[in-house]
Amino acid sequence: MSILPILLVGCGRMGSAMLSGWREQGLSASFAVDPAPGAAASAGPDLTVVPDVGGIPAGFAPAAVVFAVKPQNAAETLPQYRRFVGRPVFLSIMAGRTIGGIRSLLGDASAIVRAMPNTPAAVRQGVTVACPGTGVDAAQRALCERLLTAIGVVAWVAEEALLDPVTAVSGSGPAYVFLLAELMERAAIEQGIPADLARLLARQTVSGSGALLAASAEDASALRVAVTSPAGTTEAALQVLMASDAWPAALSRAIAAATVRSRELAG
């Protein structure tokens, strides 16, 4: 069954990733709003792209309005969509913007689901955590579930405050993994490995380890121990990385800093 008509606000990286996932499942005739010149490339038989909300026909009745814009632009952008309040569910993937804050911009009658996906959505391997606001009915929640499972795994929480640390862990998390690959590549070059081989080793080790973790029922710690021979090379490296002032402390501080910033973005 095709996905019901959607109004997508923002065709950036995440908006485009979601759109691709929806199209794979069959998307009913929908609209997207994005003023960027390149946004028109997303247009097709199932999607009309317009530069502003004024280009949406008065008779268009989306089942969901999806906000995939920068949180800093919310105050300017969201009030333009008050005319849709009533029938559709509003699905927001804006980091930090609370359900209450979004409702204040749309109106008290708005049904809002706040969600935090991450960039592996581009290859349908994302993880999204979603929180329904008051007034979201079962059908609206089911629609949001379908929209989000099109790009990966979905989990729901009842406590909205959890979305701030979720943003810090999984929303920002791909950057931490990419940094790991970047640093491994650099360190390999420092040890004399040719640059092209260093890149191959770092990328494949990170992606392969992720695939192994995803396929295994064991804890990450158990997998780590399994590859760590006593007095071996891995143990020598982990003694550096797991020192009290190294990875354990740095990652804890990093996630705490990202959580604080997510709360700050709520304005």
CATH 3.30.1490.20 fits 6-162, yes or no: no
Q: Both tokens of residue 81?
A: 């969509």
| 4-18 mean pLDDT | 96
Query: In the prediction, which pLDDT does 1 show?
Result: 81
CATH 3.40.640.10 fits 173-265, yes or no: no
Residue type, 210: G
Please classify residue 10 by burial: count the beta carbons closer than 10 Å to its beta carbon, then call 0-12 exposed, 13-18 middle and 19+ buried. buried
Residue type, 67: F
Query: In the prediction, which pLDDT does 84 show?
Result: 96
Q: Both tokens of residue 182?
A: 């970047």
Query: In the prediction, which pLDDT does 267 show?
Result: 61
Where does the chain hold its CATH 3.40.50.720 domain(s)?
6-162
Name the pTM for this structure: 0.91
Where does the chain hold its CATH 1.10.3730.10 domain(s)?
173-265
Query: In the prediction, which pLDDT does 228 show?
Result: 97
| 205-232 mean pLDDT | 97
User: For the segment 152-200, what is each residue's pLDDT rounded down to a tens digit?
Assistant: 999 999 999 999 999 999 999 999 999 999 999 999 999 999 999 999 9
